[in-house]
Chains A and B, each alone.
Chain A
Amino acid sequence: MSATFLGMPGNLSKNTDFPKNAAKAVQNSQLRFNLRKATHTIRGKRAAVVSELPDWQDLRAAGRAIKDHTLRHLDRYLLQLEEAVTARGGHVHWARDAAEANRIVTDLVKATGEREVVKVKSMATQEIGLNEHLAAHGITAYETDLAELIVQLGHDFPSHILVPAIHRNRAEIREIFLREMPGAPEGLTDEPRALAEAARLHLRERFLKAKVAVSGANFMIAETGTMVVLESEGNGRMCLSLPETLISVVGIEKLLPAWHDLEVFLQLLPRSSTGERMNPYTSMWTGSVEGQDFHLVLLDNGRTRVLADEVGRQALRCIRCSACLNVCPVYERAGGHAYGSVYPGPIGAILTPQLRGMGSELDASLPYASSLCGACYEVCPVAIDIPQVLVDLRAKAPHGLAERAGMRAAWWLFAREGRLAAAQRLAARLRRLIPRRLPGPLGAWTDTRDVPDIPRQSFRDWWKESGS
């Protein structure tokens, strides 16, 4: 399997994996506090607005069915989309991987003669590392989503799908603005309103100057060729409407067959992501509109391979709402950076190893970054059975020699009841010799937990003696 480039830290450092990254993160009390506060707040808001809808489970089933249908006929719908966009004066480009997508976008920007672009928050462009690629060609990309701006100014990486700067609190954001933002007002406080106003003034100049914008899209409608972007600030709309050239980089799985399918997703997405009944800024456009040239870059970057996997393909239903991150007890403690991918949390743990393969230690450890508690599946608006995909990926992941030997030995004991009974009697005889600190990998248990007392007699021996 060829490795797919997936933005972000991930494969950059060789000798790390999720457990090591997470072990560092759990010691960071500021991060733990920020994450706990933020995820529990969004979690509560989501639960409240979801419980208002008596037909939530039906909506969820509809979302799942529409996505599954679209994925089954993706070839047909993609061609329909291309035709519809082209008919309305747009230009459609097909990108097999990150390198191809980056080259297409860079060439399009170069053709305009501009050296700066404004960006509306987009997972797809983060996935392909577009900003870095543009920078290497002398083009500066300015992020305009508030959280994305904080991440960019802080020379940082996003740690959440919806709230990329979730790991920062407002005091830290103030410091970043004062240090990195040109023209940051003196005496800036950490009041949310003051911070937003400073960002607004800073961004307004960028919007008015920009001739080229780069965006992603939440949905693409095959029937009409319409692009749909949902955001909360209005900055995205400035990006989408002011510049003369608009380039949208969108994963091929973002497709919906028909306009009326939005009825389902415009209910599912805001309630699941921001815990709002209705999305504040929903922008839709079809092809090139007056005064603007529109380019659509359709991105594969490993998706076709995921589509071929019977169990794993359900990950392509994802609408990037991040409800699974907000309920995940592992994400809450480890934070987004531990996943080493633009896609963190439960969805990242099944998406990254599928898109990127499991060749690195980090990627091979991601399917194990879950206690299989099932909270993610319960909240997923398109019913992706994340624990099921995790378990399936674990069967495909490389296993260490010692672990294989241990699992083989356990299986051998369980294969005949006599072997198990003999092992239990041996353990009972040695019960006084069990050390308080277990050796080898089991030491991870006794680092924080006592070992239970080994009983004198197993249940089966009690049964044989006096139970039956």
Chain B
Amino acid sequence: MRVALFVTCVNDTLFPGTGRAVVSLLRRLGCEVDFPLAQTCCGQMHLNTGYREEAVRLARRFAGVFAGYDAVVAPSGSCAAMVREQYPRLIGRDFPAVHDLSEFLIDVLEVEDVGAYFPHRVTYHPTCHSLRGLHLGDRPTRLLRKVRGLELVPLPGAEECCGFGGTFAVKNPAVSAAMCADKVRNVLGTGAEVLCAADNSCLMHIGGTLRRQRTGVRVMHLAEILEATE
């Protein structure tokens, strides 16, 4: 199967390791992965900050870049939700189907055990747009449970927003930090070494706080754990 990777602008620029992990994982599972070089950004930041015109132009660009692919995979629940939920309102229905990584693995490739090995204590934050936008449900944790050596510990208050919210994090920094403080408290309470999520933007916010507080807990994108082998 020929799959186009929509890596997202955040991963492309700040977290290339996540993109490399998706490529490696999908190739291991027998997919032919393409990365259309003309891709940039889905337009979510512009739309959610109130710059609709710019968002519409980026959405049109996206639809053109990915036209003709069987499937588009994005390692970001938020960007996948932007395309699926908002594009119909912005540019009509003429754009390819975009899957979040865990949806693609479970619904399209029909695989739960991806052959990963990751001997660490991990807790999972479901992220709002994965949970309430894409309705990923337990797909990510089903994948994590099949990872050899991995101990998955439940995160209390998992469904609550971490306080990132895109430009919300700088427009309402006090509330954003207060929300993250509660999220961090819950993460630390689990005793996990690693906080995992399917969105690096949320992880940049929670991880940035965990690092600032010298907690020693690290954050990892789901793709990077699933890519890890013995």
Contact = CB atoms under 8 A, between A and B. Distances in A.
A103 interface: no
B14 interface: yes
Contact of B58 (A394, A414, A447): A414
B49 interface: yes
A464 interface: yes
B50 A394 contact: yes
A111 interface: no
Interface string A367-409: 1111111110110000000000001001111010001000110
Given A414-B58, A448-B173, A455-B15, 9 more contacts: A368-B171, A371-B128, A375-B132, A394-B49, A411-B54, A447-B177, A448-B180, A451-B208, A459-B35
A452 B168 CA distance: 18
Nearest to A447: B173
Interface residues of A, number: 61
Most-contacted residue by chain B among A18, A458, A468 (CB, 10 A): A458
Contacts of B145: none
What are the 6 closest A-B residue pairs judged by CB atoms, nearest first?
A: A371-B165, A449-B208, A394-B50, A373-B161, A23-B174, A444-B173
Contacts of A441: 170
A366 B38 CA distance: 36
Contact of B132 (A378, A451, A464): A378
A371 B35 contact: no
A229 interface: no
Interface of B: 7, 9, 11-17, 19-20, 23, 35, 37-41, 43, 45-52, 54, 57-58, 61, 128-129, 132-133, 159-161, 163-180, 204-205, 207-209, 211-212
Contacts of B48: 372, 391, 394
B168 A372 contact: yes
Contacts of B39: 417
A427 B54 contact: no
B221 to A, nearest CB: 12
A230 to B, nearest CB: 29
A19 interface: yes
Interface of A: 18-19, 22-23, 26, 32, 329-330, 333-334, 367-375, 377-378, 391, 394-397, 399, 403, 407-408, 410-411, 413-417, 420, 424, 427, 441-442, 444-445, 447-452, 454-455, 457-460, 462-464, 467-468
Contact of B175 (A333, A378, A442): A333
Contacts of A26: 174-175, 177-178
A458 B16 contact: yes
Contacts of B179: 329-330, 333, 371
Contacts of A334: 175
Nearest to A412: B54
A445 B38 contact: no
B223 to A, nearest CB: 12
A333 B168 CA distance: 14
Given A395-B52, A467-B20, A420 B212 contact: no
Contacts of A368: 167-168, 171-172
Given A391-B47, A407-B49, A445 B169 contact: yes
